Structure 1
Amino acid sequence: MEEIDDDLRLAIELSLQDANRDEEDEDLQRALALSQAEVNDRIDVSSSQSSASSVTKPDQNFAVADASDTFLLNRANMERDRLERLRKRVADASSDEEPFSKRFKTAGENRRYWEASVGNTCSADFVLDSLIDARNLRSGLFSSFDWGNRDKGVEWIADRLGKDTDAYFVVHEPGKPRVVQASPKRNLLYPPIPANFGTMHVKLMLLIFQDCLRVVITSANLTQRDWSTVDNVVFVQDFPPRASPFAALPSFGDYLHKYLKLLTEHKFVEVLKEYDFSSAKAELVGSTPAAHSFGIDFCGLGRLAAVTKKLGFKPKEGYNVEYQTSSLGALKLPWLHLFYAACAGSLPHSPSTSAPPPPFRVLFPTSDSVLAAGRRGSFPEGCEAICLERKWYEAPMFPKSVLRDSVSTRPGAISHAKVMVVERNAGKTLKDQSRENNGSGEAAEVKDGVKGWVYYGSHNCTQSAWGTIAKSRTTSQRECRTNNYELGVLIPLREGDNPPFVPYKRPPEEYGTRQPWFRMEHLAQGGAPGGQ
C-alpha cells in the first residue's frame, strides 16, 4: 500500500511540475491540489483503519485495499489525461506558446495568414479571390472609386461573395442617402461629399472571418483591370480577436475606427472594437473632406507630418522623396515645398515661393513609355487612368524638373500605383547625418534606427488628395483642408531592412526632351476616362 501511495504522490508531483510550465494551467494545479488532498485523506483513513481494527477479515482488507488502489490510480490517470487535453487546448489557443500567425496558417485547408504583407495586385501572391476567401468570409466592407461597370454597379465584386455573406459597399455617388439596403445581405454606403467637388477615393476591404479581421488597403479599384492587368500596390494584415476587452484601441485601430465613422454611419464600423490591433506594422494616413473635431493631425498633410514626426524625422535633415502617382493636377512649387516639409514632421506657416525645388521626385509616365507598353500600335490597358492635362503642365508654377519617368518592372504594364519612398540621403549613416544636422560633430540619438519610410495607398500627388494648410473659419486654428476621401499606410524603414517593395524601375530616369502622357489628347478619339 505504501509503495503504491508513493508512486501516486510522485505521479501527482510530476503532473504539478508539468502544469507549472504553462501559466494557463492554474486551474489544473488547483484541481491537482484538491486531488492530492483527497488522496492524503484516503491514505490516512485507510492507514488508521488498518491499525485500529484488528477484527477486519484479511480478505475484506485486501478487497478494500484493491478498490482504493484502483480508484487512486484511475484518479491519477484521469488527471494526467486532463492535463494533456488542457495543454493541447492551450497550445491551440495561446499566442504565447504558438504565434497567431502559425496557428492561422494551419487553421484550415489552404488558408493563409497575412502579416503586414505588401506587393502587386497582379502578382500570384495577391490573388483577389484568395484575399476575400469567400468560403470562410462572414461579412465584409468594400470601398472603391471605380467598380468596373457603371450599369452593373458593385456586381463584379458582389458576385464573388457567398449569398449569405453580409456585405457593405462604400460608393462614390454624391447626393445619395447615407445607407441604402439593396437586399437583405447587401448594403450600399454613400459618404457625405461637399457640393461640386470631392471624391470618395478610398480603396479598402475589411474582411471578417471566424478567427481574424483582415485589413486590405490598396491603390486598386475593385475591377477586373486593377487586379489582373494594371500595376497596383496592396497592404494586407490580419488581426486576431481581443482576448479580453480594454478601454482604448491601439493607434491603428483607433484611427481606423474614427476614420470610418466619418466615411459611413453604418454600425458595421463598431465591429473594429472586437479585434486586437496591437500587432499593427504600419501607421494609417487618411484624408477626408468631412467636418471633424480631431484637429490638424488627423487629416492629409497634417496627418502625414504628425506620423513622420512620431518616427523621429526632423525638418533640417537631408532626405529624398520619390513619389509614384497615376494622376497629377495643378502641381505648384510652394505646395511641393509644404509637402516636402510634411514628409519630415513639419508644417511651415510660409512655405518657400522662390527656393529651387526640393529633392522631391514625382514619377509619372512619359508618352513614349505608355505607347511602348501597348501592343501592335494599340494603347495599353489602363492608360486611360493616367491623368495629367497639358494646361497644368504648361503653367508657370509647375515644377517640370521634378518629373521622372514611371516604368513598370513588368514589361508592357501600366502602373496605377501610388507609392512614396522617403529616405535619408544615400551614402550616409544615420549618425553621420545627425552630426551634420547638429553642427556639433556629435551624433544625436536616432529614434529606433528609422532611416526612412514608405507609403502605399490611394493618395495621388495632388492637392485634392493631401490638402493644404489654412486657418479655420470658425476656430482660427490651423487646419488641413482636403477634397477627397483617401487612405493609405506608412511603414517605417530601418537600418538593415531590405529595400522597400516598389512596382517601378529604380532609379527613375529624367524626362530629358520627352513629354508626359496627356490622356485626353491621346484618347480624344474613342477614349473614355477611367478609374483614378
Structure 2
Amino acid sequence: MENSVFLVDLPRLAEGVQQSKNDLTFFGQELLYFCEAMGLDKDIRDGVLKFDFANTSHLAFVHTVGGSHYSNNMKRTGIVGLSRAVRALNLQTQDPVETDFAASSIGSLNMDFLESIYLAASGADLPVEKREVDIKDRFRIYFPTHDTVAASTGGIQNGGTVCFQSKWYNSDRFPKTLFRDYQSTRTGLLSHNKILFSRSQKQAWAYVGSANISESAWGKAFFDKAKKAWKINCRNWECGVLIIVPPEELEAQPGKVVGTEVFKGHVECPFKYPAEKYAGRKPWFFMEREERSAFAALAGEP
C-alpha cells in the first residue's frame, strides 16, 4: 500500500517573538482556523504563531470542518473553501480544465457533484457562481479494478482499505464512464492516495490530502430557505495542501499542458497515465457481505 505525505520546513521565530493571526500567509491562517475548529488547546494554537510561514506563500491549506456552516465559515471550508483557495493563489480560469482525481474510497457519485468539484478546481465563486460545463472528456477518477487488486503484491487480502460498494456503481446515475484503472507506477502496490491534479493552458496545481471524492469529504452547499442564507453541510473532517506548478514552467511549454508530466518535480504522479478505461471489467468492491466473508476466510476466522 502506498500513500502521500506533505512536509514543509518552517523556521521557528526568535525566542519571545510571536506573529499575529493576520500576519500569517493564507496557508497559515487556514491551518490555524482548522486547529481552532478542532478545539486544540491554546498553547498549541499559540505555538503555530511562533513559526515563520513565509515558505508557504505559494501554497494553500485546504480543509473540511465537520458540521453545518454559514456565511464566512461556509466560504472557508469544504468544496467552497477549495474554490476560495484556488482564487487565493490566482489560479482561477475560464479555460477548460483537465482534472484527474485518485481516490481510495468511492461513494454515491453523480454528475452534479462532480461538476461542482470541476468548478471549484476552476476557481468559480461557489456556491453562487454557476457555469454550464461538460466534464465527460475532462474529468477522470482513478480507482483499481478487481483484477488490479487481485494481481497486486498482497492480493485481495491487501485491499480492505480500498472501499467501494456495487450498489453505488450499479446506480443509473453513477458516472461510470469517468473511471480509470488505478495502476501504481511501482508495480504491485495498491493506493491509499487522495490526489487531485488540475491544469489548463495557464495554470496547474495539485491537491494532496485526506479527502476522497465524496460529498461527505467535501460537503454539500445549498440555500437554506428557513434562514435565507447559503449553507454547507460537511460530514467528515479532512485536510490537505494545494501545491502549484510555477507559471513560468507552463509558459515554457505552451499548448502542451495536457498530461500529468507537468507536475514532475512538484508532485510526482503515482499512477500510470494515461490510464486504461474499465472496458467491461468491474471495479474492486469491498464493504459488502461477500467481501467481508472472503477476508474472514483468508484470516482463518469462522
For the criterion TM > 0.5, the same-fold answer is: yes
Match of 2:276 in 1: 509
What is the distance in 1 between the residues matched to 2:117 and 2:8?
28
**Are residue 273 (structure 1) and residue 49 (structure 2) matched?**
yes
Match of 2:8 in 1: 237
Q: Does 1:418 align with 2:194?
A: yes
Q: 1:350 to 1:319 in 2, by over 3 A?
A: closer
CA distance in 1 between counterparts of 2:244 and 2:226 reads 36
Instruction: Confirm whether residue 264 of structure 1 aligns to residue 74 of structure 2.
Output: no
* 1:524, distance to aligned residue in structure 2 (A): 3.0
Aligned equivalent of 2:232? 480
Tell me which amino acid in the other structure corresponds to 1:343: A
Residue in structure 2 matched with residue 255 of structure 1 by the alignment: 30
Is the contact made by 1:256 and 1:284 (CA closer than 8 Å) also made in structure 2?
A: yes
CA distance in 1, matches of 2:45, 2:150: 43
Q: 2 CA distance for matches of 1:459 and 1:370?
A: 22
Quick check: 1:364–1:406 contact (8 Å CA) kept in 2? yes
Matched, 1:333 2:100: no
SS at match of 1:385: coil
Cα contact 1:262–1:290 (8 A) shared by 2: no
Please say if residues 252 and 282 of structure 1, whose CA atoms lie closer than 8 Å, have aligned partners that are also in contact: yes
Q: What is the distance in 2 between the residues matched to 1:351 and 1:380?
A: 44
Match of 2:205 among 433, 453, 464: 453
Q: Is the 8 A contact 1:250 1:277 kept in 2?
A: yes
Aligned to 2:221: 469
- In the alignment, what sits opposite 1:363? 142
2:300 is matched with: none
Distance in 2 between the 1:498 and 1:291 partners?
35
Residue 391 in 1 paired to residue 167 in 2? yes
Highest RCO, 1 vs 2 (Cα 8 Å, sep ≥ 6): 2
Residue 66 of structure 2 is matched in structure 1 by: 289
- Verify the 8 A CA contact 2:80 2:127 in the aligned structure 1: no
Alpha-carbon contact 1:325-1:362 (below 8 Å) kept: yes
| SS of the residue 1:331 aligns to | coil
Is contact 2:60-2:89 (8 Å) kept? Answer: no
Structure 1 pair 272/295, CA: closer, same or farther in 2 (3 Å)? same
For the aligned residue pairs, the C-alpha RMSD in angstroms reads: 2.5
Q: Which runs of 5+ in 2 are unaligned?
A: 250-261, 297-302
2:258 aligns with: none
Task: Give the gaps of 5 or more residues in structure 1.
Answer: 1-229, 431-450
Corresponding residue SS for 2:245: strand
- Secondary structure of the residue aligned to 1:283 is strand
User: Which amino acid is the alignment partner of residue 479 of structure 1?
Assistant: K
Alpha-carbon spacing, 1:352–1:370, altered in 2? closer, same or farther (3 Å):
farther
Which has the larger helix fraction?
Answer: 1
Deviation, 1:245, is: 3.3
Amino acid at match of 2:86: T
1:87-166 pair list within 5 angstroms: none
Corresponding letter in the other structure for 2:41: H
CA distance in 1, matches of 2:93, 2:74: 18
Q: Paired residue for 2:256? A: none
Q: Structure 1, residues 41-81: CA drift from partner, whole Å, max 9, x if none?
A: xxxxxxxxxxxxxxxxxxxxxxxxxxxxxxxxxxxxxxxxx
After TM superposition, give the deviation of residue 256 of structure 1 in Å: 1.0
Scaled by the length of structure 1, the TM-score of the pair is 0.48
| Contact kept in structure 2, 1:323 and 1:420, CA below 8 Å | yes
Q: Which residue is 1:404 aligned to?
A: 180
Label 1:475 to 1:295 Cα distance change in 2 as closer, same or farther (>3 A).
farther
CA distance 1:394–1:295, shift in 2 (3 Å): same
% identity of equivalent residues = 30
In the alignment, residue 245 of structure 1 is paired with which amino acid?
A: Q
Q: Where does residue 446 of structure 1 map in the other structure?
A: none
Q: Distance in 2 between matches of 1:278 and 1:264?
A: 25
Q: 1:527 aligns with which of 283, 295, 298?
A: 295
- Per the alignment, residue 19 of structure 1 pairs with none
Please give the per-residue CA displacement for 1:390-417, whole angstroms capped at 9, x wherever unaligned. 1111111111000001011122111001
Contact 2:63 2:81 in 1 (8 A): yes
Mapped partners of 2:80, 2:192: distance in 1: 25
- The equivalent of 1:125 in structure 2 is none
- 2:245 counterpart residue number: 493
TM-score, L = length of structure 2 = 0.82
Tell me how far apart the structure 2 counterparts of residues 491 and 454 of structure 1 sit (CA, whole Å): 5
Distance 2:238 2:137 in 1: 25
Closer/same/farther in 2, CA of residues 308 and 325 from structure 1, 3 Å limit:
same
Amino acid at match of 1:232: N
Measure the CA separation in 1 of the matches of 2:206 and 2:135: 25
SS state at 2:269 partner:
coil
Secondary structure of 1:481's aligned partner: strand
**Does the CA-based 8 Å contact 1:253-1:277 persist in structure 2?**
yes
State the SS of the aligned residue for 2:81: helix
The amino acid across from 2:139 in the alignment is F
Match of 2:123 in 1: 345
Matched, 1:307 2:82: no
Alpha-carbon distance in structure 1 between the residues aligned to 2:134 and 2:205: 25
SS at structure 2 position matched to 1:368:
helix
Residue 505 of structure 1: how far off its partner (Å): 1.3
Contact 2:3 2:191 (C-alpha < 8 Å) held by counterparts: yes
SS in 2 for 1:407: coil
